[in-house]
Structure 1
Protein backbone atom coordinates (compact mmCIF):
# COMPACT_ATOMS: atom_id res chain seq x y z
CA UNK A 1 0.00 0.00 0.00
CA UNK A 2 2.85 2.33 0.82
CA UNK A 3 4.46 1.57 -2.50
CA UNK A 4 1.17 2.06 -4.32
CA UNK A 5 0.74 5.45 -2.62
CA UNK A 6 4.31 6.41 -3.54
CA UNK A 7 3.71 5.39 -7.18
CA UNK A 8 0.55 7.49 -7.35
CA UNK A 9 2.35 10.43 -5.78
CA UNK A 10 5.21 10.14 -8.28
CA UNK A 11 2.80 9.83 -11.21
CA UNK A 12 1.09 13.05 -10.07
CA UNK A 13 4.47 14.80 -9.88
CA UNK A 14 5.34 13.54 -13.37
CA UNK A 15 2.07 14.94 -14.73
CA UNK A 16 2.64 18.19 -12.86
CA UNK A 17 6.15 18.51 -14.30
CA UNK A 18 4.77 17.63 -17.75
CA UNK A 19 2.32 20.54 -17.50
CA UNK A 20 5.07 22.86 -16.33
CA UNK A 21 7.25 21.69 -19.21
CA UNK A 22 4.45 22.35 -21.73
CA UNK A 23 3.88 25.83 -20.25
CA UNK A 24 7.60 26.57 -20.52
CA UNK A 25 7.63 25.37 -24.14
CA UNK A 26 4.71 27.68 -24.96
CA UNK A 27 6.42 30.59 -23.22
CA UNK A 28 9.61 29.82 -25.18
CA UNK A 29 7.69 29.81 -28.49
CA UNK A 30 6.03 33.11 -27.62
CA UNK A 31 9.35 34.67 -26.63
CA UNK A 32 10.97 33.39 -29.84
CA UNK A 33 8.15 34.84 -31.95
CA UNK A 34 8.36 38.17 -30.13
CA UNK A 35 12.13 38.20 -30.68
CA UNK A 36 11.60 37.62 -34.42
CA UNK A 37 9.01 40.39 -34.58
CA UNK A 38 11.32 42.80 -32.78
CA UNK A 39 14.20 41.91 -35.11
CA UNK A 40 12.01 42.62 -38.13
CA UNK A 41 10.95 45.93 -36.63
CA UNK A 42 14.55 46.85 -35.85
CA UNK A 43 15.56 46.06 -39.44
CA UNK A 44 12.80 48.23 -40.89
CA UNK A 45 13.38 51.04 -38.41
CA UNK A 46 17.15 50.84 -38.85
CA UNK A 47 17.05 53.00 -41.98
CA UNK A 48 15.00 55.61 -40.14
CA UNK A 49 17.43 55.55 -37.22
CA UNK A 50 20.34 56.01 -39.62
CA UNK A 51 18.64 58.99 -41.23
CA UNK A 52 17.89 60.43 -37.80
CA UNK A 53 21.50 60.02 -36.65
CA UNK A 54 22.78 61.66 -39.84
CA UNK A 55 20.47 64.61 -39.29
CA UNK A 56 21.97 67.67 -37.69
CA UNK A 57 20.42 69.12 -34.57
CA UNK A 58 19.17 72.08 -36.60
CA UNK A 59 17.39 69.74 -39.03
CA UNK A 60 15.95 67.79 -36.11
CA UNK A 61 14.53 70.95 -34.53
CA UNK A 62 13.18 72.03 -37.90
CA UNK A 63 11.51 68.65 -38.38
CA UNK A 64 10.09 68.75 -34.87
CA UNK A 65 8.58 72.20 -35.45
CA UNK A 66 7.06 71.04 -38.75
CA UNK A 67 5.50 68.07 -36.97
CA UNK A 68 3.99 70.34 -34.30
CA UNK A 69 2.65 72.82 -36.84
CA UNK A 70 1.12 70.02 -38.91
CA UNK A 71 -0.51 68.55 -35.80
CA UNK A 72 -1.96 71.96 -34.92
CA UNK A 73 -3.19 72.40 -38.49
CA UNK A 74 -4.82 68.97 -38.35
CA UNK A 75 -6.62 69.89 -35.12
CA UNK A 76 -7.88 73.17 -36.63
CA UNK A 77 -9.04 71.45 -39.80
CA UNK A 78 -10.76 68.67 -37.85
CA UNK A 79 -13.11 71.31 -36.42
CA UNK A 80 -13.93 72.64 -39.90
CA UNK A 81 -13.78 69.57 -42.14
CA UNK A 82 -16.33 66.79 -41.84
CA UNK A 83 -14.20 63.72 -41.21
CA UNK A 84 -17.13 61.42 -42.00
CA UNK A 85 -17.55 62.93 -45.46
CA UNK A 86 -15.27 60.40 -47.13
CA UNK A 87 -17.14 57.40 -45.75
CA UNK A 88 -20.48 59.07 -46.53
CA UNK A 89 -19.28 59.74 -50.08
CA UNK A 90 -18.24 56.10 -50.50
CA UNK A 91 -21.65 54.92 -49.28
CA UNK A 92 -23.49 57.29 -51.61
CA UNK A 93 -21.24 56.25 -54.48
CA UNK A 94 -22.15 52.60 -53.85
CA UNK A 95 -25.86 53.50 -53.84
CA UNK A 96 -25.40 55.50 -57.05
CA UNK A 97 -23.57 52.65 -58.77
CA UNK A 98 -26.25 50.21 -57.63
CA UNK A 99 -28.98 52.47 -59.03
CA UNK A 100 -27.10 52.84 -62.33
CA UNK A 101 -26.83 49.05 -62.54
CA UNK A 102 -30.56 48.69 -61.88
CA UNK A 103 -31.28 51.35 -64.50
CA UNK A 104 -29.31 49.40 -67.12
CA UNK A 105 -31.26 46.25 -66.24
CA UNK A 106 -34.57 48.12 -66.52
CA UNK A 107 -33.58 49.62 -69.90
CA UNK A 108 -32.59 46.18 -71.14
CA UNK A 109 -35.92 44.74 -69.94
CA UNK A 110 -37.81 47.64 -71.57
CA UNK A 111 -36.08 46.97 -74.91
CA UNK A 112 -36.90 43.29 -74.58
CA UNK A 113 -40.57 44.10 -73.90
CA UNK A 114 -40.69 46.43 -76.93
CA UNK A 115 -39.22 43.69 -79.14
CA UNK A 116 -41.80 41.22 -77.82
CA UNK A 117 -44.64 43.70 -78.52
CA UNK A 118 -43.35 44.23 -82.09
CA UNK A 119 -43.25 40.47 -82.63
CA UNK A 120 -46.77 40.08 -81.25
CA UNK A 121 -48.04 42.93 -83.48
CA UNK A 122 -46.56 41.16 -86.53
CA UNK A 123 -48.18 37.89 -85.47
CA UNK A 124 -51.51 39.69 -84.93
CA UNK A 125 -51.31 41.34 -88.36
CA UNK A 126 -50.47 38.01 -90.02
CA UNK A 127 -53.36 36.28 -88.24
CA UNK A 128 -55.77 39.09 -89.19
CA UNK A 129 -54.56 38.97 -92.80
CA UNK A 130 -55.18 35.24 -92.91
CA UNK A 131 -58.61 35.64 -91.32
CA UNK A 132 -59.44 38.57 -93.64
CA UNK A 133 -58.60 36.57 -96.77
CA UNK A 134 -60.56 33.52 -95.59
CA UNK A 135 -63.62 35.53 -94.45
CA UNK A 136 -63.61 37.60 -97.65
CA UNK A 137 -63.42 34.43 -99.75
CA UNK A 138 -66.19 32.71 -97.75
CA UNK A 139 -68.33 35.87 -97.75
CA UNK A 140 -68.01 36.16 -101.54
CA UNK A 141 -68.87 32.48 -101.97
CA UNK A 142 -71.95 32.71 -99.71
CA UNK A 143 -73.09 35.94 -101.37
CA UNK A 144 -72.75 34.49 -104.91
CA UNK A 145 -74.64 31.36 -103.79
CA UNK A 146 -77.51 33.42 -102.39
CA UNK A 147 -77.58 35.83 -105.33
CA UNK A 148 -76.24 34.10 -108.44
CA UNK A 149 -74.20 36.38 -110.66
CA UNK A 150 -73.56 38.84 -107.81
CA UNK A 151 -70.14 39.39 -106.30
CA UNK A 152 -69.18 40.71 -102.85
CA UNK A 153 -65.97 40.97 -100.92
CA UNK A 154 -64.47 42.69 -97.89
CA UNK A 155 -61.93 45.44 -98.60
CA UNK A 156 -60.16 48.03 -96.48
CA UNK A 157 -61.37 51.63 -96.93
CA UNK A 158 -59.31 53.71 -99.39
CA UNK A 159 -55.97 54.79 -97.89
CA UNK A 160 -56.30 52.46 -94.90
CA UNK A 161 -55.28 48.91 -94.06
CA UNK A 162 -57.19 45.96 -92.64
CA UNK A 163 -56.22 46.88 -89.10
CA UNK A 164 -58.16 50.15 -89.47
CA UNK A 165 -61.35 48.47 -90.67
CA UNK A 166 -63.08 46.73 -93.58
CA UNK A 167 -66.08 47.51 -95.79
CA UNK A 168 -68.30 45.42 -98.05
Structure 2
Protein backbone atom coordinates (compact mmCIF):
# COMPACT_ATOMS: atom_id res chain seq x y z
CA UNK A 1 0.00 0.00 0.00
CA UNK A 2 1.40 3.37 -0.96
CA UNK A 3 1.09 6.42 1.28
CA UNK A 4 2.66 8.70 -1.36
CA UNK A 5 0.22 11.33 -2.65
CA UNK A 6 1.82 11.32 -6.12
CA UNK A 7 1.07 7.63 -6.58
CA UNK A 8 -2.66 8.35 -6.38
CA UNK A 9 -2.34 11.28 -8.79
CA UNK A 10 -0.12 9.53 -11.37
CA UNK A 11 -1.23 5.91 -11.08
CA UNK A 12 -3.58 4.62 -13.77
CA UNK A 13 -4.71 1.85 -11.39
CA UNK A 14 -5.70 4.35 -8.70
CA UNK A 15 -7.47 6.58 -11.20
CA UNK A 16 -9.42 3.67 -12.71
CA UNK A 17 -10.48 2.53 -9.24
CA UNK A 18 -11.40 6.07 -8.22
CA UNK A 19 -8.98 6.03 -5.27
CA UNK A 20 -7.68 9.19 -3.66
CA UNK A 21 -4.85 9.59 -1.17
CA UNK A 22 -7.13 11.19 1.43
CA UNK A 23 -9.76 8.44 1.27
CA UNK A 24 -7.34 5.50 1.13
CA UNK A 25 -4.69 6.62 3.63
CA UNK A 26 -6.63 8.82 6.02
CA UNK A 27 -10.07 7.18 6.12
CA UNK A 28 -10.20 3.60 4.79
CA UNK A 29 -6.82 2.22 5.94
CA UNK A 30 -7.10 3.39 9.59
CA UNK A 31 -10.67 2.07 9.72
CA UNK A 32 -9.59 -1.33 8.33
CA UNK A 33 -6.86 -1.47 11.01
CA UNK A 34 -9.30 -0.44 13.76
CA UNK A 35 -11.75 -3.18 12.74
CA UNK A 36 -8.91 -5.73 12.46
CA UNK A 37 -9.75 -6.40 8.81
CA UNK A 38 -6.10 -5.99 7.75
CA UNK A 39 -2.78 -6.29 9.51
CA UNK A 40 0.43 -4.48 8.69
CA UNK A 41 3.13 -6.98 7.75
CA UNK A 42 5.95 -4.49 7.07
CA UNK A 43 5.84 -0.75 7.66
CA UNK A 44 6.81 1.37 4.70
CA UNK A 45 8.86 4.55 4.68
CA UNK A 46 9.71 7.41 2.36
CA UNK A 47 13.08 9.16 2.70
CA UNK A 48 12.63 12.41 0.77
CA UNK A 49 16.37 13.26 0.91
CA UNK A 50 17.58 10.06 -0.74
CA UNK A 51 14.43 9.40 -2.75
CA UNK A 52 14.28 5.88 -1.34
CA UNK A 53 11.25 4.27 0.14
CA UNK A 54 9.40 1.04 0.71
CA UNK A 55 5.72 0.32 0.29
CA UNK A 56 3.75 -0.64 3.37
CA UNK A 57 2.82 -4.33 3.17
CA UNK A 58 -0.58 -5.35 4.48
CA UNK A 59 -2.47 -8.60 4.58
CA UNK A 60 -6.16 -9.30 4.97
CA UNK A 61 -7.23 -11.10 8.12
CA UNK A 62 -9.68 -14.00 8.45
CA UNK A 63 -12.18 -11.40 9.62
CA UNK A 64 -11.90 -9.58 6.25
CA UNK A 65 -12.38 -12.87 4.43
CA UNK A 66 -15.54 -13.50 6.46
CA UNK A 67 -16.86 -10.07 5.42
CA UNK A 68 -15.99 -10.54 1.73
CA UNK A 69 -17.08 -14.18 1.45
CA UNK A 70 -19.73 -14.75 4.16
CA UNK A 71 -20.65 -18.24 2.90
CA UNK A 72 -17.05 -19.45 2.85
CA UNK A 73 -14.74 -19.91 -0.07
CA UNK A 74 -16.33 -21.35 -3.20
CA UNK A 75 -15.68 -24.97 -4.05
CA UNK A 76 -13.68 -25.58 -7.19
CA UNK A 77 -13.73 -28.69 -9.31
CA UNK A 78 -10.86 -30.25 -11.16
CA UNK A 79 -11.15 -29.88 -14.90
CA UNK A 80 -9.95 -32.93 -16.77
CA UNK A 81 -10.56 -34.61 -20.08
CA UNK A 82 -12.58 -37.82 -19.94
CA UNK A 83 -12.44 -38.86 -23.60
CA UNK A 84 -9.75 -39.21 -26.23
CA UNK A 85 -9.81 -36.59 -29.00
CA UNK A 86 -10.69 -39.22 -31.60
CA UNK A 87 -12.98 -41.62 -29.73
CA UNK A 88 -15.47 -43.58 -31.83
CA UNK A 89 -18.27 -45.69 -30.34
CA UNK A 90 -20.29 -48.33 -32.18
CA UNK A 91 -23.67 -49.33 -30.77
CA UNK A 92 -26.06 -52.08 -31.76
CA UNK A 93 -29.84 -51.87 -32.00
CA UNK A 94 -30.15 -52.20 -28.21
CA UNK A 95 -27.74 -49.27 -27.69
CA UNK A 96 -24.99 -51.49 -26.28
CA UNK A 97 -21.38 -50.71 -27.19
CA UNK A 98 -19.85 -53.33 -29.45
CA UNK A 99 -16.24 -53.85 -30.52
CA UNK A 100 -15.15 -53.17 -34.09
CA UNK A 101 -11.98 -53.30 -36.19
CA UNK A 102 -10.28 -50.31 -37.75
CA UNK A 103 -11.24 -49.71 -41.37
CA UNK A 104 -10.78 -46.89 -43.86
CA UNK A 105 -14.14 -45.52 -42.68
CA UNK A 106 -13.15 -45.46 -38.99
CA UNK A 107 -9.77 -43.90 -39.84
CA UNK A 108 -11.53 -41.18 -41.82
CA UNK A 109 -14.02 -40.60 -38.97
CA UNK A 110 -11.13 -40.33 -36.48
CA UNK A 111 -9.33 -37.84 -38.72
CA UNK A 112 -12.47 -35.70 -38.89
CA UNK A 113 -12.85 -35.86 -35.10
CA UNK A 114 -9.23 -34.80 -34.58
CA UNK A 115 -9.80 -31.85 -36.93
CA UNK A 116 -12.98 -30.73 -35.15
CA UNK A 117 -11.59 -31.25 -31.64
CA UNK A 118 -8.34 -29.52 -32.64
CA UNK A 119 -10.37 -26.51 -33.73
CA UNK A 120 -12.14 -26.47 -30.37
CA UNK A 121 -8.77 -26.66 -28.58
CA UNK A 122 -7.41 -23.65 -30.48
CA UNK A 123 -10.39 -21.39 -29.82
CA UNK A 124 -11.96 -20.29 -26.58
CA UNK A 125 -15.44 -21.72 -26.40
CA UNK A 126 -16.90 -21.06 -23.00
CA UNK A 127 -20.14 -21.31 -21.09
CA UNK A 128 -21.02 -17.94 -19.60
CA UNK A 129 -22.29 -18.68 -16.12
CA UNK A 130 -22.73 -16.17 -13.26
CA UNK A 131 -21.27 -17.03 -9.86
CA UNK A 132 -24.74 -17.87 -8.54
CA UNK A 133 -25.05 -20.48 -11.29
CA UNK A 134 -22.11 -22.48 -9.93
CA UNK A 135 -23.91 -23.05 -6.65
CA UNK A 136 -27.04 -24.20 -8.50
CA UNK A 137 -24.99 -26.58 -10.65
CA UNK A 138 -23.30 -28.00 -7.56
CA UNK A 139 -26.69 -28.75 -5.99
CA UNK A 140 -27.82 -30.65 -9.09
CA UNK A 141 -24.81 -32.94 -9.18
CA UNK A 142 -25.78 -36.57 -8.62
CA UNK A 143 -22.93 -37.40 -6.25
CA UNK A 144 -19.51 -36.22 -5.17
CA UNK A 145 -17.99 -38.65 -7.67
CA UNK A 146 -19.96 -37.30 -10.63
CA UNK A 147 -17.88 -35.56 -13.25
CA UNK A 148 -18.31 -31.82 -13.76
CA UNK A 149 -16.49 -30.07 -16.59
CA UNK A 150 -17.58 -26.67 -17.89
CA UNK A 151 -14.85 -26.75 -20.51
CA UNK A 152 -16.07 -30.02 -22.00
CA UNK A 153 -15.75 -29.46 -25.71
CA UNK A 154 -14.15 -32.71 -26.87
CA UNK A 155 -16.58 -34.56 -29.08
CA UNK A 156 -16.80 -38.28 -29.69
CA UNK A 157 -18.69 -39.92 -32.52
CA UNK A 158 -21.26 -42.66 -32.03
CA UNK A 159 -22.41 -44.89 -34.87
CA UNK A 160 -25.67 -46.84 -34.59
CA UNK A 161 -27.00 -50.03 -36.16
CA UNK A 162 -23.61 -51.75 -36.29
CA UNK A 163 -22.87 -50.11 -39.64
CA UNK A 164 -19.09 -50.23 -39.08
CA UNK A 165 -18.94 -54.03 -39.00
CA UNK A 166 -21.12 -54.78 -42.02
CA UNK A 167 -19.22 -55.08 -45.30
CA UNK A 168 -19.72 -52.14 -47.70
CA UNK A 169 -22.18 -50.50 -45.31
CA UNK A 170 -22.63 -46.75 -45.35
CA UNK A 171 -22.38 -45.01 -41.99
CA UNK A 172 -25.90 -44.26 -40.89
CA UNK A 173 -27.24 -42.90 -37.62
CA UNK A 174 -23.95 -41.27 -36.68
CA UNK A 175 -24.03 -38.51 -34.05
CA UNK A 176 -21.51 -36.32 -32.26
CA UNK A 177 -21.66 -36.31 -28.44
CA UNK A 178 -19.59 -35.17 -25.50
CA UNK A 179 -19.51 -31.38 -25.57
CA UNK A 180 -21.83 -29.35 -23.44
User: Whose relative contact order is higher, 1 or 2, with alpha carbons under 8 Å and at least 6 apart?
Assistant: 2
Q: Which has the larger radius of gyration?
A: 1
Calculate the TM-score normalised by the size of structure 1: 0.21
Higher strand proportion: 2
Calculate the TM-score normalised by the size of structure 2: 0.20
Higher helix proportion: 1
